[in-house]
């Protein structure tokens, strides 16, 4: 874009990370830009059951717990993804598409129109027309992505029950246009915005259902009417209201949860903060002994062998942060295994990694500092008592400062997976060289 001096940019991303990446690039370049979301997938159907990508992950937990057969598991896998499009619930892709539309960086309805719907092609055709308007007005991303539009994006994320990944993505988008967002600002929005959308992973419906009842613009209009938005009236004043009698979006008077599902927790286990996804269905308090795993692979092996051992435990998966992962991978397989095994209300899961938008249950991620940096999560041992209190916004291990300090003195960082692979590769190379000699 910059090297060739293009006047404007229309980008078509379609999944979790490339959408915020696209918006960050637009913000840095700051030339007239429109994002077209590739669109959501439709749900799969088989013998009266409805499936999506998380069904495919959760059925593994059901299988290892003995509640379904391998044949049924394979049936779920074959019917979970029937066509093109991003994962169908209010997972990370649909969360970010909704947030970006709310910011004003897409045409209305972009986030809720399914990938295979003919309206998506109409959107592509209209993008050129509206790009000419942006060029005439010289309206650039930094004119659109403002403190107010970011606030509106956070409001929609909370109301729709969006992914915890929205926290780090919106912070990064803000920085790309020279603005600052903090963890505490997300908490302030969460405190005043109710959780309204009965969408997967914790609910019943998928993004296609939201499309059928009026789409994201109708949700924005409803939130404005209830006093939860700012300066969006021009975009949605002609948009039809949510469909009469629909059940996808609850009323403000009858929310799924009276405050947002994203909660920012601190405590001696997360002195620099953490991000919890609490819909209220899993409770607001959990306390139990720690069950510690170095990486998700060892946790998956353990739950496959003995799911009942996880009951009542606070499961710790560490070494999955930005440095330790490296790259901060998503813990979708662990959370899906827990939910599939029927343990969603019987254990909690804490990690210095991230969660997929499809993760649900009593889950807390983004724990800072991460284990690789010597954070307290790296000092936890099996059977340490950990308490998560959502109402107090605290997450603590029952250890004194002196006990933590003593463990820190003895602590040394683990080799990351990348470092381990490098060492193994080097040893193999040396062995081959010795054999040749």
Cβ neighbors of 400 (< 8 A, separation 6 or more) are: none
* Catalytic-labelled residue, pool 67, 356, 412, 425: 356
User: Catalytic: 80?
Assistant: no
Annotated catalytic sites, by residue? Answer: 356
């Amino acid at each position: 874009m910059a090297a060739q001096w293009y006047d404007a940019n229309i980008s078509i991303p379609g999944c979790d990370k490339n959408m915020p990446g696209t918006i960050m690039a637009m913000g840095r370049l700051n030339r007239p830009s429109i994002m077209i979301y590739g669109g959501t997938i439709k749900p799969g159907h088989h013998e009266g059951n409805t499936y999506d990508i998380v069904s495919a992950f959760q059925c593994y937990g059901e299988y290892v717990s003995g509640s379904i057969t391998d044949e049924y598991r394979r049936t779920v896998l074959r019917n979970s993804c029937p066509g093109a499009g991003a994962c169908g619930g209010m997972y990370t892709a649909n969360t970010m598409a909704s947030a970006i539309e709310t910011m004003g960086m897409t045409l209305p309805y972009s986030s809720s129109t399914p990938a295979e719907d003919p309206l998506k092609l109409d959107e592509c055709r209209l993008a050129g027309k509206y790009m000419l308007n942006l060029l005439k007005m010289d309206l650039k991303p930094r004119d659109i992505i403002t403190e107010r539009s970011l606030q509106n994006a956070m409001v929609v994320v909370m109301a729709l029950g969006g992914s915890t990944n929205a926290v780090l993505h919106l912070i990064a988008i803000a920085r790309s246009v020279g603005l600052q967002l903090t963890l505490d600002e997300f908490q302030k929005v969460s405190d005043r915005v109710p959780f309204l959308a009965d969408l997967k992973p914790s609910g019943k419906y998928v993004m296609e259902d939201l499309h059928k009842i009026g789409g994201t613009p109708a949700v924005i209009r409803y939130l404005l009417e209830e006093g939860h938005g700012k300066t969006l009236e021009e975009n949605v004043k002609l948009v039809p209201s949510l469909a009469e009698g629909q059940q996808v979006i609850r009323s403000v008077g009858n929310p799924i949860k009276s405050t947002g599902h994203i909660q920012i927790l601190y405590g001696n286990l997360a002195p620099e903060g953490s991000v919890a996804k609490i819909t209220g269905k899993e409770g607001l308090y959990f306390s139990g002994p720690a069950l510690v795993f170095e990486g998700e692979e060892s946790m998956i092996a353990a739950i496959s062998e003995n799911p009942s051992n996880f009951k009542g435990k606070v499961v710790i998966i560490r070494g999955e942060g930005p440095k330790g992962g490296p790259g901060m991978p998503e813990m979708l397989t662990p959370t899906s295994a827990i939910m599939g095994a029927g343990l969603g209300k019987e254990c909690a899961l804490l990690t210095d990694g991230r969660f997929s938008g499809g993760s649900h249950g009593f889950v807390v991620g983004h724990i800072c500092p991460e284990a690789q940096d010597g954070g307290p999560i790296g000092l936890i041992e099996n059977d340490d008592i950990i308490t998560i209190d959502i109402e107090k916004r605290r997450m603590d291990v029952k250890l004194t400062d002196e006990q933590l300090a003593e463990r820190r003195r003895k602590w040394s960082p683990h080799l990351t997976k990348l470092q381990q692979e490098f060492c193994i590769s080097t040893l193999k190379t040396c062995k081959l060289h010795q054999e040749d000699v």
